[in-house]
Structure 1
């Protein structure tokens, strides 16, 4: 098998495994919620984050070289901030639901 074919198989396989991991992680994040408000938050955040990530990936393929590298700046800052926000909001919901 030539190196190009091996690279193609690896690229497709890695993409499939990555999407499966993201889907399983999303499913467990929604499944392991403790109430309707928390579940609603996780569904909303999942839709938003999946949209952002898929847009980022599409732009990585569509933009020319100097610009695609600049995408990493907002993505690298924004994704961890969004995850941290989601985790804090989830903890707030858990605290308010437990106290009632």
Structure 2
């Protein structure tokens, strides 16, 4: 292998490493948020779908606990689905980039 070939190989490997690093950074930064239909519950999740924030409207104070639990759970599920969609977009983009190279 010539010096030029080796340089090209190192350049391609470095470019792929940069792509992977960028994708990992993007995956780590994923956040998603959802708001209930009535706007009284808002949930934020990280890229793994784990809740990082929960905001409840003051108007919920008289709501039955079971109804509130369903609203929070449903809204958290919507936020987690949005985070998963973003993770899928990032990984698909990465895979597409590797396939074309």
- For the aligned pair, the TM-score class normalised by the smaller chain equals 0.3 to 0.5
Q: Higher helix proportion, which one?
A: 1
- TM-score normalised to structure 2 length: 0.43
- TM-score normalised to structure 1 length: 0.43
Q: Higher strand proportion, which one?
A: 2
